[in-house]
Amino acid sequence: MRDSDPRVVLGLHRSRHERRLLTGALDLGVTAIDTSANYLGFRSHEVLARIASDLLPKFTLSTKVGYFPRADRAEHSLDPTRLHGAVEQAARDLGREPDVVFLHNPEHSLQETAPHNRDALFQACATLDDATAKGLCGAWGIASWDPSPLPELIDVTMPRPSVLMVRAGLLVGIRTLDTVNTLAAAWGMSNSTMWGMSPFGGSTGAPVWDRIDPRVFLRDRAGLSRVQAAFRAAYHLPQVNTVAVGTDEPAHLGELVGALAAEVDEQAIHQYRSLLRDRSRGQPV
């Protein structure tokens, strides 16, 4: 078994939830998993407890609340009572308290809470803060796919999350990268509390990955594949300490862990951001 590396979190969003993946992750030193109440058709917690109750104590475990099942489709909510109930339910279903509970994509619910968005976000954050203080989870965070509505709602009175999880990688646009910087500054987040997610935008099979060679972002290609280079570059777009990535293949996870040793060319990242910014302003690139 390799030494544990906190920079990689195995994300279970698209996972089949197979035990061999979890044992494979531990062998590779990947000792953090990220799930959500709504993953695997709202069965992720229960299935993890069933197939891997003996393994779960070996992982740092994060999950998310804020999506609730409904007959036709999932429903977003920032309602404090529902959120508190969901945190309690998560601990019951998993058979242990999660280390981190994220508020899941609050931007969706905020569309419906106007003009009381700030108050709705405040109450939701306070609920997770309170759940943490009561020991229902180790810490709380915000996971946001599109954080654009958030910065204007944050002031010094807003409870501060311990972790902020945002999209990361080469598919993230400059508007989101800038918003993340603003949000992280508003909340006073340090790099060590920033997590990236979905470094391949959900699929390495998307045509875009055949059209670019992310190895230009590495100082030394050192025999790494394009997928490995894209993963390594994701830690700088935006600057994050940890990345949640999905795979059902332990061998693929091993490749990603292997990419961590590569050094990123920060100048190339800087130039890439400048290109994105010029393009967003309509300037020729």
Q: Site residues (CB under 6 A) for ligand NAP?
A: 11-14, 34, 64, 104-105, 143, 145, 197-204, 227, 244-249, 252, 255-256
Q: Which is nearer to ligand NAP, 131 or 245 (CB)?
A: 245
d(CA 189, CA 48): 31
Nearest to 195, CA basis, from 159, 168, 161, 227: 168
Instruction: Name the E strands within 5-159.
Output: 8-11, 32-34, 60-65, 67-68, 75-76, 100-104, 139-144
Q: Shortest Cβ distance from residue 64 to ligand NAP (Å)?
A: 6
User: Residue 20 contacts by C-beta under 8 Å, 6 or more apart in sequence?
Assistant: 250
Nearer to ligand NAP, 139 or 277 (CB): 139
Going by their DSSP bridges, the two strands 75-76 and 67-68 should be labelled as antiparallel
- Residue whose Cβ sits closest to ligand NAP: 11
Smallest separation (angstroms) from ligand NAP to the CB of 54: 22
Contact 143, 124 (CB under 8 A): no
Q: Measured from the CB atom, is 11 or 238 closer to ligand NAP?
A: 11
Minimum Å gap between C-beta 146 and ligand NAP is 9
The nearer residue to ligand NAP, 76 or 117, going by C-beta atoms, is 76
| 63, 99 Cβ separation under 8 angstroms | no
- CB nearer to ligand NAP: give 131 or 254: 254
What would the two tokens of residue 193 be?
């509390």
Nearer to ligand NAP, 142 or 153 (CB): 142
Closer Cβ to ligand NAP, 11 or 276, answer by number:
11
Report the C-alpha gap between 92 and 37 in whole angstroms: 12
Smallest gap from Cβ 226 to ligand NAP, in A, equals 9
Segments of the chain assigned E as strands? 8-11, 32-34, 60-65, 67-68, 75-76, 100-104, 139-144, 163-167, 194-197, 242-246
- Tell me the closest approach of the beta carbon of residue 223 to ligand NAP, in angstroms: 14
Longest dimension (CA), the chain: 56
Residue showing tokens 């790494």: 224
Smallest distance from ligand NAP to CB 62, Å: 8
Q: Which is nearer to ligand NAP, 154 or 253 (CB)?
A: 253
CA distance 141 to 194: 10
Residue 231 CB, shortest distance to ligand NAP, in Å, is 7
Residue matched to tokens 């997928």: 227
**Min CB(267)–ligand NAP separation in Å:** 25
